[in-house]
Amino acid sequence: MNNLLIALGALFLALLFGGLIQGLDRRLTARIQRRVGPPILQPYFDVLKLWAKEPLFTSSMTEVCAWGGLAGSAAALGLFFAGQDLLLVFFTQAVGAVLPAVGALASPSPYSQTGGQRELLQLAAYEPVLLVVLACVGQASGSFSANAPLHLSGPLLPSLPLTFAALLLVMGIKLRKSPFDTAASAHAHQELVRGLYTEYSGPSLALLEVAHWLDTLLLLGICALFWATSLWGMTLLIALVWLGEIVLDNASARLTWPWLLAVFWGPGLLLAAANLAWVVW
Amino acid sequence: MKMLKKLTEYAQRKSPWILHYDCSSCNGCDIEILACLTPIYDVERFGAVNVGNPLHADVLLVTGSVNLRNAAVLKELYRQMPEPKAVLAVGACALSGGVFRDAYNVLGGVDKVIPVDVYVPGCPAKPESVLDGVILALEKFRRDADHGDKS
């Protein structure tokens, strides 16, 4: 009961502040490009507006998948902040991540099809890496409970530097930032801009937008586990990673999907697995 | 309830996503529209985003005159935009057919095919007037909200 209340409270705060992070992101991106940029509250305006638009669907699956995607992301975030098992968090977020791709593939639109297929490729690239990263965290802190790293005597980062590097790669995909924004991105960095989201419009796009806020928070939360013993360390680490992602997003072009797979299945998996072996032995 | 309606209406005016369709423009107006995205004019300060998908768009921005070839495309783009939506005709050609109005295949301005909310004159239209037109088009959303849902 207590856990449920914590999870719901965390979700409420996430919905309240999730948009601010995206708003700051857009503002900062604009400043990097020497523009003024939208107001910080812009993501909330976008979501409210989308929610009030006329629902248009080419397939009823699209709407179901938008709700499913949000439910998966929300459940994963709730479980994470309630201190539940990290593997449970992982599989819940995987369900939330797969459903939008299913919805995109349910439509005959070639843009949506390409976006959906690329999203599946992204999942194939980062999900194994994320699983090994969480396994490393579990091994190093002696428990798979999400709040176990909080009770350690020292931070995890010194013993898991390679794992952290692998997590940074995963962040790139989950935050939909260049050079790993193969399936969809916020900016016209490539030939297929909204890809995955092509057939999601109005209310269903609003749901996926909110799901993206929650995903971003979950990934920043996982990042925080690496310096969970001090609040300052945690805040500094999250801020540095987030700023780094935005700078990288603005400074790099997109990689093609063979590159994506090569980076994640090669260095990504190797880094995480090497660190896992180091921790275990 | 009234509060939420007001908030939604405010959000609609703060977040116009723009779809740009070039009917048969000489690209003069299109370049001026692209200039709106650059650091000097930065249309994103008003929350506007240039989208390439009618399903995501709130404002349809049309340049160039309508002819027998592109009338069907224009109609289809308009049909695929979810309500509430607004249409902006930008430049002399989109307003009336411009210098091409007497050509054998030209139907005339955008309003020959779809309903237009705001006319932005100029040859080419200046970025300032395009921005002004977009903001004027957003007033339509306020009007629609006042008169209830239009269907």
Instruction: Return the H-helix or E-strand segment holding B4.
Output: helix B2-14
CB within 8 Å: A202 and B53: no
- pLDDT of res. B73: 93
Per the CB < 8 A criterion, the answer to whether A177 and A260 are in contact is no
| A151-156 long-range Cβ contacts below 8 angstroms, 24+ apart | A152/A228, A152/A229, A153/A229, A154/A229, A155/A226, A155/A227, A155/A228, A155/A229, A155/A230, A155/A233, A156/A225, A156/A226, A156/A227, A156/A228
Among left, alpha and beta (phi > 0; psi -120 to 50; other), residue B126 is beta
**Prediction pTM value:** 0.91
Give the nearest chain A residue to B141 (CA atoms). A49
Q: DSSP letter at A254?
A: P
CB-based contacts of B78, cutoff 8 Å, min separation 6: B54, B60, B85, B87, B114
Q: Say whether the peptide bond before residue B54 is cis (omega within 30 degrees of 0).
A: no
pLDDT in tens, A60-83: 888 899 999 999 999 999 999 988
CB within 8 Å: B14 and A42: yes
Per the CB < 8 A criterion, the answer to whether A69 and A76 are in contact is no
**Kind of pairing between the strands at B66-67 and B106-108:** antiparallel
User: Which residues in chain B are closer than 8 Å to A188, comparing Cβ atoms?
Assistant: 50, 52
- pLDDT of res. B149: 47
Provide the residue ranges of all domains of chain A, joining segments of one domain with +.
50-280
User: Which residues in chain B are closer than 8 Å to A197, comparing Cβ atoms?
Assistant: 56
- pLDDT of res. B147: 55
ipTM of the modeled complex: 0.88
Residues of chain B where predicted confidence (pLDDT) is lower than 70: 143-151
Chain A residues in contact with chain B using a Cβ-Cβ cutoff of 8 Å: 26, 30, 33-39, 42, 44-46, 48-49, 51-56, 111, 188, 193-194, 197-202, 205
Q: Provide the token pair at A34.
A: 């020497």
Q: DSSP letter at A59?
A: -
Alpha-carbon distance A164 to A268, whole Å?
10
Q: What are phi and psi of A123, to 5 degrees?
A: -60, -45
- pLDDT of res. B151: 37
Candidates B14, B52, B82; nearest CB to A53 = B82
Alpha-carbon distance B26 to B66, whole Å?
13
Q: CA torsion angle for A59, A61, A64, A67 (degrees, to 10)?
A: -80
- pLDDT of res. B150: 43
Candidates B12, B45, B83; nearest CB to A49 = B12
Residues of chain A where predicted confidence (pLDDT) is lower than 70: 187-191, 193
Q: The domain B16-146 is classified under which CATH number: 3.40.50.2300, 3.20.190.10, 3.40.50.12280, 1.10.287.110?
A: 3.40.50.12280
CB within 8 Å: A194 and B10: no
Place of tokens 């797969």: A98
User: Residue B71, class by beta-carbon neighbours within 10 Å (0-12 exposed, 13-18 middle, 19+ buried)?
Assistant: middle
Q: DSSP letter at A253?
A: -
Q: How close, in Å, is residue A240 to chain B by CA atoms?
A: 26
